[in-house]
Copies of this chain bind each other. A is one copy, B any other.
């Protein structure tokens, strides 16, 4: 068993009880060297692979939403039949490969800061997200 005290602390400090399900999901999401994108379906598969204790689908949904609300995950705006999440919560944008149905991070250094020269009165900007759709270049 790995050291989960970091996750227990993380959960507790954000007002989420460190249940064994949540700790397991933290392991699956945040233990890997690289950040990644996932759908709920894919996450459920990753969880099954890494534990014998089944976690209910409802709990996976609950937990992902809780983590998203706490800022530990980001949801990626994309037209799809399912929601995509990102364990990389730092500011960055995405390529979406429409041929492969695949999301790819764009290093933030590779995008000039997006300047929006207008505002909506009474509203503040929460995020600016760029989605670059690509397809096979048949040439």
Contact = CB atoms under 8 A, between A and B. Distances in A.
A111 B106 contact: no
B112 A115 contact: yes
Contacts of A133: 125-129
A1 interface: no
A79 to B, nearest CB: 5
Question: What range describes how many residues of A lie at the interface?
Answer: 35 or more
A120 interface: yes
Interface string A58-96: 000000000000000001111100010000000000010
A78 B129 CA distance: 10
Given A112-B114, A132-B127, A134-B125, A95 B79 contact: no
